[in-house]
C-alpha cells in the first residue's frame, strides 16, 4: 500500500469536510467575522489588504491557493472540488479568513458552463466579429455582459480575453481572437476586460504568448526574434494589460524560443512583471504546467486545473529549500490582491436570473455593427421588401440556425443544437453546433409580402433551379473552427464554392452571407452581386443579418484581418504539424522527446515584423479584401489633413482632418490612420496608429481629431530593452481602409 498517497488523500478528505462545515456556518456569523478582520477595510488598497491576509496564512493555506482541484476528464479530481460550481476551474477559499473560492468559467464569447448549472447564457458574436466593429464602447459592453452573466451563474472569474495575433489565419482559434493588428487587438481587448472587471469579476488576457496555431500546441516551439515579438504579438498584450488592467494573465501551451510559455522567465517575469509592471497573477492554461521549481521561479503563480506541480510538490519544494517561501508569498499576494482589486471579496456573486432579453439586444446590436459588407455590385443591397416578390434562401441549415465556434469557447444554445432532433440537441466537444437563430425565418419576417423558399444546397442542381425562379438568391455558407485543430485550408468545406457558383450562374442577383471565424478564399467573388461577412454571429445573428440586408441597419464594420487570394500568398504555405509518430521499442519518438522536455517540433516566424497586412504590403501581394476594408450604403470623402507635432499632451502627434458623408443616407465611417516610418527604422511599409468612428448625416462634414501615442510610432530597441522613436520623416496616411488612403502628409520627428 502507498501509505504517503493514502495519508494525502485522508488529509484532503478532512480538509474538504472542514471547508463544507465552514460553509454551513450561518452567513451572518461568517460576515461578522470578516467585518472584524482588518483586511476587510475597503478603505485600504488591494496591496495593503493582501499583505494583511498573507500574514495570517499557514503554508497549507498558501499552497491551496496556487492550484485548482481538478477537472473531470483532465486527471484526478480532488475531494475539495465539492464546492465547485461546475466551471473549468475551482480554487478553494479560506473561510476562516473570509477569502472565498475562485469559481472560473470559460467565457470567450459568452459563458460556457451554463449547461453544467442549468442556466442560460447569451452567445455574443465571436471575438473576431467584435473586432470588426472597431468600437471600444461595444467591446466594453461585450465584456460587461459576460461579467453580468458570470455573476448570475455564480462565477467570479472569466477565462476570456483572447488576443493572440493572427500570424496564421488557419489557426483553429482565430475566431476567439481580435485580428492581425496589435493596436486594434490590444485596445479592443483592453476595453473588453474593463467591462468584465467592472462587474466585480476577475478578468484575464490570454494565451500568453505567440500561441498562433493549434496543431501540436502542447509541444510546438515558436521561434521568433525579440524585436519582432515585442512589436507584434507582445505589443497586443502590452496594450491590453495597460488599458484593461486585467487581474490575471493566462500563459499558453506552446514553447517560445525553447521554454514552455508557463515556465518562460523572459515572458512571465522580465517582460510581464518587470517591464509592464503587471500586478496580477499568472494562471496556467489547462495542463500547461510542466514543473514546480522552474515554473515558480519563472513567474507562474497558479496551476490549473489540478495540483500536479503546485500542490503537494510545491509544499515539498518549499520545505526542502528548492522554492523560497518568499516566492510562494509573492504568488499568493498577487492572487489575493487581484481578488480585492476586482471586488470578488467585498461583492461576491449571487446566483440570479440572467437578463435574456437584454442579452439578445446586446448580441444583436454588436452583430449588426460587426457584419462587413464586402461586395455590393449594382447597389444590390439593401433589398427593398416592397419591390421583391420572391427570394431563394439557400445553404446548409440556414432554415434553422447559424453555426458557432467550438471548443472551450462553445456556449450552449438555448434548446440545444438547432440541427439535432428535438430533445437531442446537447452540445458535444468536437461536433459543430448551430444556434437556433434562423435566417429563413428572419428574412420571411422582413419580407412578408414575398414568396421566400428554402433549399439546403446539398443538390446543386436543385438549388440552382430554385434560384432561377427567384428575384434574389441569398446563399448562407460556413467554415467551422474548433480549438485543438487548425483548418486544412481557407476554402469553404462541403463543396460550397461549387454551390455558390451554380446559384450565381442561375441568378445574377445572388448575395452570399459568410459564417466564418477566419478569412476564406472566394473563387466565385466576381460572379455574385453581394457578399456579407457575418462571422459567427451569436444568438441573434439571423436577425442582425436580415436588418443589414433590408437596410434597417447601414453596415459600418471593417475587416480586422486580411482576406488573401489563396493560401499560396500566406507567409507559411502550410501549418507546421507535429512529426508523424514513428516507434522505437513501441513508443512514439516525438512523445519520447516531449517526455524528456525537448522540443518535439519547430515553427519559425521568419516573416518577423510582417504580420497580416504588413506582410502583403512588404511582399507586394494583391489581396482579395484588405485589412480595414468594409463597404457601407453611404459614401464618404476625406479632406483637410493637418498633422500637429508640438504642444500635445504626452508628446502625442495629433491629426486633424475632415470626413464628409457624400450620400443621402446617414452612416458611420471608421476613419483609419496609418504611419510609414523612416527607412532607417527597417519596418514594413506602414502600420495602423489610430482610428476614429464617426456618425454622419447625409451631406454632413465633421472635423476629426486622432491622437497618436508615441509608442505606436516607435520601434523596440532590443539592446536598450526600450521603445525608441527613430528621428526622421514620418508619412501619415488617412482613409477608409489600409489600401484606400487619400490623405497623406509627411512630418519630421526628432
Sheet with 472-478: strands ordered across: 372-376, 530-533, 510-515, 472-478, 390-394, 451-455
Phi first, then psi: what are they for 392, rounded to 5°?
Answer: -105, 120
**86-135 residue pLDDT tens:** 999 999 999 999 999 999 999 999 999 765 666 789 999 999 999 999 99
For the chain, domain boundaries: 57-342, 357-561, 634-749
Mean pLDDT of all residues in the chain? 92
pLDDT at 633 over 50: yes
Residue 55 predicted with pLDDT over 60:
yes
For residue 13, give the nearest of 67, 71, 93, 77 by alpha carbon. 77
Rounded to the nearest 10°, the torsion over CA 612, 616, 622, 628 is 40
Burial 250-262 (b: 16+ CB within 10 A, else e): bbbbbbbbebbbb
**φ, ψ for residue 515, nearest 5 deg:** -110, 90
Three-class SS of residue 649?
helix
Say which residues have a Cβ less than 8 Å from residue 592's Cβ, sequence separation at least 6: 584
Q: Is 634-749 a CATH 2.40.50.140 domain? A: no
* The pLDDT of residue 20: 42
Edge-first strand order for the sheet with 701-708 is: 636-644, 653-661, 701-708
What span, in angstroms and rounded, lies between the C-alpha atoms of 654 and 648? 7
Q: Is the pLDDT of residue 6 over 80?
A: no
Q: Rounded to whole angstroms, how far apart are CA atoms 388 and 470?
A: 9
Condensed to tens digits (0 to 9), the pLDDT of residues 377-416 reads 999 999 999 999 999 999 999 999 999 999 999 999 888 8
d(CA 368, CA 631): 14
Options 3.30.413.10, 3.20.20.150, 3.40.50.300, 3.40.50.1700; CATH of 357-561? 3.40.50.1700
Cell of 698: 447625409
Q: Give the pLDDT score at 588.
A: 41
Give 75's pLDDT tier (boundaries 50, 70, 90): confident
* Residue 424: band (very low, low, confident or very high) from pLDDT cuts 50, 70, 90: low
* Grid cell of 214 as nine digits: 493549434
* DSSP state at residue 705: E
For residue 3, pLDDT beyond 90: no
Cell of 212: 498562433
Classify the C-alpha dihedral 602-295-188-141 as positive or negative.
positive
Strand segments, DSSP code E, in 41-110 are 89-91, 102-106
Please check whether residue 736 is in contact with residue 670, taking contact to mean a CB–CB distance below 8 angstroms: yes
* Whole-number percent of the chain with pLDDT over 90: 86
Q: Is the pLDDT of residue 730 over 80?
A: yes
Q: What is the mean pLDDT of residues 257-272?
A: 97
Alpha-carbon distance of 383 to 376, in angstroms, equals 11
Whether the predicted pLDDT of 220 surpasses 90:
yes
* Whether the predicted pLDDT of 144 surpasses 90: yes
> How much is the CA Rg of the chain, to the nearest whole Å?
26
82-87-92 Cα angle (round to 5): 45
- In DSSP terms, 455 is beta-bridged to 394
| Packing angle, helices 233-244 and 182-197, rounded to 10 | 30
- Could you tell me which of 615, 67, 131 has the C-alpha nearest to residue 292? 67
Beta-bridge partners for 375? 531
Mean pLDDT calculated for residue range 486-498:
96
What percent of the chain shows pLDDT beyond 70?
91
Which has the closest alpha carbon to 516: 575, 559, 556? 559
Q: Which residue has the higher pLDDT, 578 or 256?
A: 256
DSSP 48-61: HHHHHHHHH--HHH
Helices 136-152/182-197 angle, 10° precision: 40
CA distance 209 to 230: 11
Q: And the C-alpha cell for 143? A: 465584456
pLDDT digits (tens, 9 = 90+) for 560-605: 999 999 999 999 988 887 765 433 333 344 434 444 444 468 999 9
Report the distance separating Cα 687 and Cα 674, nearest Å: 5
d(CA 562, CA 623): 7
Is pLDDT of 460 > 70?
yes
Query: Residue range 15-40: average pLDDT?
Result: 55
Helices of type H across 288-438: 293-298, 312-319, 325-342, 356-368
The whole-number pLDDT of residue 31 equals 52
The domain 57-342: what is its CATH number?
A: 3.20.20.300
DSSP letter string, 411-464:
PPPTTS-TTSPTT-----TTS--EES--HHHHHHHH-TTSEEEEE-SSSHHHHH
State phi, psi for 732 to the nearest 5 degrees: -100, 135
Write down the pLDDT at residue 430. 84
Q: Write down the pLDDT at residue 421.
A: 72
Amino acid at each position: 500500500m502507498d501509505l504517503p498517497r493514502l495519508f494525502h488523500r485522508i488529509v484532503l478528505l478532512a480538509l474538504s469536510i472542514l471547508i463544507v462545515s465552514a460553509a454551513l456556518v450561518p452567513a451572518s456569523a461568517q460576515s461578522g467575522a470578516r467585518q472584524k478582520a482588518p483586511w476587510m477595510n475597503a478603505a485600504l488598497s488591494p496591496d495593503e489588504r493582501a499583505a494583511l491576509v498573507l500574514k495570517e496564512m499557514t503554508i497549507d493555506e498558501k499552497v491551496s491557493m496556487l492550484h485548482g482541484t481538478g477537472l473531470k476528464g483532465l486527471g484526478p479530481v480532488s475531494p475539495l472540488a465539492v464546492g465547485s460550481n461546475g466551471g473549468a476551474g475551482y480554487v478553494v477559499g479560506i473561510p476562516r479568513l473570509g477569502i472565498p473560492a475562485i469559481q472560473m468559467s470559460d467565457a470567450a464569447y459568452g459563458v460556457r458552463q451554463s449547461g453544467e448549472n442549468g442556466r442560460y447564457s447569451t452567445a455574443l458574436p465571436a471575438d473576431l466579429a467584435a473586432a470588426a466593429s472597431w468600437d471600444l464602447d461595444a467591446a466594453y459592453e461585450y465584456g460587461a455582459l459576460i461579467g453580468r452573466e458570470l455573476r448570475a451563474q455564480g462565477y467570479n472569474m472569466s477565462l476570456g480575453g483572447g488576443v493572440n495575433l493572427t500570424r496564421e489565419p488557419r489557426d483553429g482559434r482565430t475566431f476567439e481572437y481580435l485580428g492581425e493588428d496589435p493596436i486594434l487587438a490590444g485596445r479592443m481587448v483592453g476595453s473588453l476586460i474593463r467591462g468584465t472587471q467592472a462587474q466585480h469579476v476577475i478578468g484575464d488576457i490570454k494565451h500568453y504568448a505567440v500561441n498562433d496555431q493549434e496543431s501540436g500546441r502542447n509541444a510546438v516551439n515558436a521561434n521568433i526574434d525579440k524585436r519582432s515579438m515585442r512589436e507584434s504579438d507582445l505589443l497586443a498584450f502590452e496594450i491590453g494589460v495597460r488599458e484593461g488592467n486585467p487581474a490575471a494573465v493566462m500563459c499558453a501551451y506552446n514553447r517560445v524560443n525553447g521554454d514552455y510559455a508557463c515556465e518562460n522567465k523572459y515572458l512571465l517575469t522580465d517582460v510581464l512583471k518587470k517591464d509592464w509592471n503587471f500586478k496580477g497573477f499568472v494562471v496556467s492554461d489547462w495542463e500547461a504546467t510542466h514543473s514546480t521549481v522552474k515554473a515558480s521561479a519563472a513567474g507562474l503563480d497558479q496551476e490549473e486545473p489540478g495540483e500536479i506541480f503546485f500542490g503537494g510538490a510545491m509544499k515539498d519544494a518549499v520545505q526542502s529549500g528548492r522554492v523560497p517561501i518568499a516566492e510562494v508569498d509573492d504568488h499568493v499576494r498577487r492572487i489575493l490582491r487581484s481578488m480585492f482589486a476586482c471586488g470578488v471579496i467585498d461583492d461576491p456573486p449571487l446566483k440570479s436570473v440572467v437578463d435574456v432579453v437584454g442579452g439578445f439586444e446586446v448580441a444583436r446590436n454588436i452583430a449588426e455593427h460587426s457584419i462587413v459588407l464586402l461586395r455590393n455590385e449594382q447597389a444590390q443591397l439593401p433589398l427593398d421588401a416592397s419591390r421583391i416578390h420572391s427570394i431563394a434562401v439557400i445553404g446548409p441549415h440556414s432554415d434553422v440556425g447559424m453555426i458557432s465556434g467550438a471548443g472551450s469557447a462553445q456556449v450552449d444554445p438555448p434548446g440545444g443544437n438547432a440541427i439535432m432532433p428535438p430533445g437531442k440537441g446537447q452540445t458535444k466537444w468536437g461536433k459543430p453546433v448551430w444556434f437556433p437563430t434562423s435566417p429563413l425565418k428572419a428574412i420571411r419576417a422582413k419580407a412578408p409580402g414575398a414568396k421566400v423558399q428554402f433549399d439546403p444546397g446539398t443538390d446543386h442542381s436543385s438549388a440552382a433551379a430554385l434560384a432561377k425562379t427567384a428575384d434574389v438568391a441569398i446563399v448562407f455558407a460556413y467554415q467551422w473552427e474548433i480549438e485543438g485543430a487548425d483548418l486544412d485550408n481557407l476554402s469553404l468545406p462541403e463543396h460550397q464554392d461549387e454551390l455558390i457558383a451554380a446559384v450565381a450562374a442561375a441568378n445574377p442577383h445572388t448575395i452570399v452571407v459568410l459564417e466564418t471565424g477566419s478569412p476564406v478564399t472566394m473563387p466565385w467573388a466576381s460572379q455574385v452581386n453581394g457578399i456579407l461577412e457575418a462571422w459567427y454571429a451569436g444568438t441573434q445573428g439571423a436577425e442582425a443579418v436580415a436588418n443589414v440586408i433590408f437596410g434597417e441597419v447601414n453596415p459600418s464594420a471593417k475587416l480586422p484581418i486580411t482576406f488573401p487570394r489563396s493560401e499560396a500568398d500566406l507567409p507559411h504555405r502550410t501549418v507546421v504539424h507535429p512529426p508523424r509518430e514513428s516507434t522505437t521499442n513501441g513508443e512514439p519518438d516525438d512523445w519520447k522527446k516531449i517526455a524528456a522536455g525537448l522540443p518535439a517540433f519547430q515553427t519559425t516566424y521568419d516573416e518577423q515584423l510582417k504580420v497580416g497586412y504588413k506582410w502583403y504590403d512588404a511582399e507586394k501581394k494583391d489581396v482579395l479584401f484588405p485589412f480595414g476594408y468594409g463597404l457601407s450604403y453611404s459614401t464618404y470623402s476625406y479632406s483637410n489633413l493637418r498633422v500637429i507635432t508640438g504642444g500635445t499632451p504626452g508628446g502625442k502627434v495629433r491629426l486633424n482632418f475632415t470626413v464628409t458623408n457624400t450620400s443621402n443616407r446617414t452612416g458611420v465611417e471608421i476613419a483609419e490612420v496609418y504611419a510609414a516610418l523612416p527607412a532607417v527604422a527597417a519596418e514594413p511599409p506602414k502600420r495602423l496608429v489610430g482610428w476614429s468612428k464617426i456618425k454622419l448625416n447625409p451631406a454632413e462634414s465633421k472635423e476629426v481629431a486622432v491622437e497618436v501615442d508615441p509608442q505606436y510610432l516607435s520601434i523596440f530597441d532590443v539592446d536598450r530593452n526600450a521603445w525608441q522613436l527613430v528621428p526622421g520623416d514620418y508619412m501619415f496616411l488617412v482613409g477608409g481602409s489600409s489600401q484606400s488612403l487619400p490623405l497623406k502628409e509627411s512630418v519630421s520627428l526628432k
